[in-house]
Chains A and B, each alone.
Chain A
Amino acid sequence: MKVAASIKNFLLSLAGFAAILLIWQLGVSFTSVGNLLPSPWAVAVRFVTMCTNTVGRKYTLPMHLLVSLRRVLIGFGLSAASGIVIGIAMGRSDLIRAIVRPLFELVRPIPGVAWIPMAIVWFGIGETAKIFIIFIGGFVNIVVNTFSGSRQVDENILNAAYMLGANKVQAFFKIVIPSCVPYIFSGLQVGLSTSWMAVLAAEMVSATEGVGWIITAGQQNADMPQILAGIIAIAVTGLALASLMRLLERVLCRWRVRGS
């Protein structure tokens, strides 16, 4: 019954997807939309040629994706590591909160993308600037979520642990960290998608490779199929990253899965 329902749902969304492609194709074939947009078939063909032939000087589309993913992984890794530590420290210690919070509140409301020009002035247009932008994009979300998670640790459980003779270190690793994990994950989830957006923006402003570059290069050559094929690659990769994160969350905090 359940399997039948999910197969039916799958077929329905497949039909919906086919309908979009059909409307797109009909619009391109029979109306003036064709002057602005290429047909879905042309985009698909382009997508395949971009996977086998080089785009730009030396990379194929999958290689460009790997270049962007590498940047995201470095930047996001740095922001996750520092963001979780700072978030928990701010949540658990009044003194650290008093010191760090005003400075953090200064940075928090600035959109990550706006740092691009500053990063270029500071670090040039190389890898460091891009990783800095990705770092900023992820960092803010991770700190905010980790902080609010570590403020919501149940004091009763903590006191019970102390009463049963746990020392500070034990209480921290056995109670504070586990009860923060769901919040940390929602921060990581948002942070990862922001990082993916930040790498695009950074590559669109200055780069010679990467998926963001593919799109801007397409714009400069007025090559719409290349832009759209690039967007599809970006969307699919973004979706894959989000699903991967979700999977990791399911495995690591099975006792409390957000939503469904």
Chain B
Amino acid sequence: MSTYKKRQFRLRIVSLLSILVFLAVWYVCTAVLRLAPAYSLPDPITVFQSFVTKLSSRVPDGATLPQHIWESFKIAMAGYLMGVVIGVPLGIAMGWVSWVEKIVRPVFDFLKPIPPIALIPVMITLFGIGIESKACIIFFSTVIPSIVNSYSGIKQTSQIHLWVARTFGASNLQQLFTVAIPSALPMIFAGLRVAMGVSWMGLVAAELMGATRGIGYMISTARNLLRADIIIVGLLTLGFIGIVISLVFDLIEIKFVRGGK
């Protein structure tokens, strides 16, 4: 083994130790020394047991963990897809066609600085606490980054490439589809990634404030019942879903944006 490899291997071990030490300190502080009461910080083993029970048990919030995840996922996807399907073409049109930019830009500049979380009360007043209000909030949090990134992606197309295309007689639409959009793709994709993060945050906030199911609802019910173990299970579930989503995005990006590299 080369020294470099040896060093990398040693660092891996340190990383592993770091997690183990973290869990051990957590366990000793809670289960052995009892520095914090169980309702505020349970020990890691209790949390793990709660996770396993929650997979199949409806106690205390009326649904199992997979049901909560599915409910949140459904709403997130509905709002997210709507936001992307409307936002990306609109952003591209804004970047390419100047009269669209002139019309949409002021509306957009007016809406852009409003944090989606601030809209939750408006949406709840207008649509109640059902799926519509949450999907609207996610739609709103998705559509803004989709537009911003598609717009600036198109705007950053190299003029020289466009000139070359024009010299060879490409029509306006050909220039858009063969030059501008492909070169804006990485930027658009970054927008979709940002949008996913923001919409997930908006969803959790919406579920904390008004819901009957979903991971945010599970966490806020657990808070009312002082079940910190379930809150931590919820947080870790959210983190895990975040990791899975970002892996899926990596795969799509490698396959479609960087041409399989």
Contact = CB atoms under 8 A, between A and B. Distances in A.
Interface of A: 12-13, 15-17, 19-20, 36, 94-95, 97-103, 106-118, 120-122, 193, 196-197, 200-201, 204-205, 212, 215-216, 218-219, 222, 224, 227-228, 230-231, 234-236, 238-239, 242, 259
Given A115-B235, A218-B121, A219-B125, A234 B204 contact: no
A114 B11 contact: no
B11 A227 contact: no
A238 B115 contact: yes
A13 B109 contact: yes
B238 A205 contact: no
A205 B209 contact: yes
A16 B102 contact: yes
B231 A112 contact: no
19 contacts: A94-B7, A98-B18, A99-B18, A110-B242, A111-B204, A113-B201, A113-B204, A114-B208, A117-B220, A121-B39, A122-B41, A196-B115, A197-B115, A200-B117, A204-B120, A204-B209, A216-B121, A219-B124, A230-B118
Contact of A103 (B19, B208, B209, B226): B19
Given A99-B14, A121-B39, 7 more contacts: A16-B106, A109-B240, A111-B238, A114-B238, A116-B208, A118-B223, A201-B117
B234 A234 contact: no
Contacts of B117: 113, 197, 200-201, 204
A204 B232 CA distance: 22
B118 A200 contact: yes
Contacts of B32: none
B206 to A, nearest CB: 10
A78 B26 CA distance: 24
B239 A109 contact: yes
B14 A227 contact: no
Given A20-B106, A224-B125, A118 B231 contact: yes
A93 B220 CA distance: 39
Contacts of A106: 236, 239
Nearest to B102: A12
Given A107-B239, A239-B113, A101 B208 contact: no
B105 interface: yes
A214 to B, nearest CB: 10
B14 A98 contact: yes
Contacts of A111: 197, 200-201, 204, 238, 242
Contacts of A115: 235
Measured as residues with beta carbon below 8 angstroms from the partner, the interface class of chain B is 35 or more
B246 interface: yes
Interface of B: 7, 11-12, 14-16, 18-19, 22, 39-41, 102-103, 105-107, 109-110, 113-122, 124-126, 152, 197, 200-201, 204-205, 208-209, 215-216, 219-220, 222-223, 226, 228, 231-232, 234-236, 238-243, 246
A225 B136 CA distance: 20
A-B pairs with lowest CB-CB distance, top 8: A16-B106, A109-B242, A117-B223, A219-B121, A111-B201, A98-B14, A98-B11, A235-B113
Given A103-B22, A114-B216, A115-B235, A17 B119 contact: no
Contact of B222 (A97, A100, A117): A117
A243 B196 CA distance: 25
A32 B107 CA distance: 22
Nearest to A226: B121
B223 A114 contact: no
B113 A227 contact: no
Contacts of A12: 102, 106
Contact of A95 (B11, B16, B105, B119): B11
A218 B107 CA distance: 25
B234 A114 contact: yes
Contacts of B222: 117
Contacts of B228: 118, 121
A212 B208 CA distance: 14
Nearest to B209: A204
A114 B219 contact: yes
Contacts of A94: 7, 11
